[in-house]
Amino acid sequence: MAPAIEVRSLSRSFSGRGETLALDNVDLTVEEGELFGLLGPNGAGKTTLIKILSTLLLPSSGTARVLGHDVDADAKLIRKRINMVSGGEISGYGLLTIRENLWMFTQFYGVPGKVANERIDSLLETFGLQDKADAKLRTVSTGQRQKMNIIRGFATDPELIFLDEPTLGLDVTTSIAIRNYLRRWVREREGRTMMLTTHYMLEADELCDRVAIIDRGRIVAVDTPAGLKRRAGSGSSF
């Protein structure tokens, strides 16, 4: 079975006032069916790596393969099979209702109408948004908007989904609901893979099969949450 994600000697730099090295010679493999976490502080390189893997950025050097395809040469093939959700993002159109926004995104992926409606209805119920389905997006709360963003990501039934700090800034109840769904999605769908970035140690511990710790653009450790705790020594929270 080929890995869902395979990264070799991957680097990415940005020009500005001098040159900033966001990713530095990263090697990483994520197996099909894993719920894999990227854990690190703000500015560690998590979002840059996610953007490269989701074909939004090109690497400066090295290679990255997603679902067997090169992110540079085969971007269109990858995009049809993945999705991405970021915490705190502004996604969708405020003048459209939640249901209309979700329908629009499923059509971008060519999901048949009946299937799209069934998925949208099921996910709205799962996240407790059915009573807001016909509310215009600009009228709902931050938590409700983020629930819609999560639904948008899963309504296309991706083989691989990237979640970049999906519970950022949300209340405890909403965060728990989202984490419960993420755990269930991977377990109930054979062959589906998830990469989750977070700087919440508890979130990585609760959700992930394995976790890579990234700092200053480098992967400094990859292990199960339990293995990372053992490395950190007794008394450590992670």
Residue 216 has pLDDT above 80, yes or no: yes
- Separation between Cα atoms, residue 46 and residue 217, nearest integer Å: 8
Rounded CA gap, 194 and 204, in Å? 12
Q: Report the distance separating Cα 193 and Cα 47, nearest Å.
A: 18
Contact 133, 151 (CB under 8 A): no
The answer to whether 53 and 43 are in contact (CB under 8 A) is no
Q: Where are any strands of DSSP class E within the chain?
A: 5-16, 18-30, 35-39, 61-66, 69-70, 82-86, 160-164, 193-198, 210-215, 218-223
pLDDT for residue 225 is more than 50: yes
Tokens describing residue 25: 């010679």
What pLDDT is attached to residue 171? Answer: 83
**pLDDT by residue (tens digit) across 133-188?**
999 999 999 889 989 999 999 999 999 999 998 887 788 888 888 888 998 898 88
* Predicted confidence (pLDDT) at residue 237 exceeds the cutoff of 80: no
Model confidence band, residue 120 (pLDDT cutoffs 50, 70, 90) = very high
pTM score of the predicted model: 0.91
Query: What would the pLDDT profile of 25-81 be if each residue is shown by its tens digit?
Result: 999 999 999 999 999 988 899 999 999 999 999 999 999 999 999 999 999 999 999
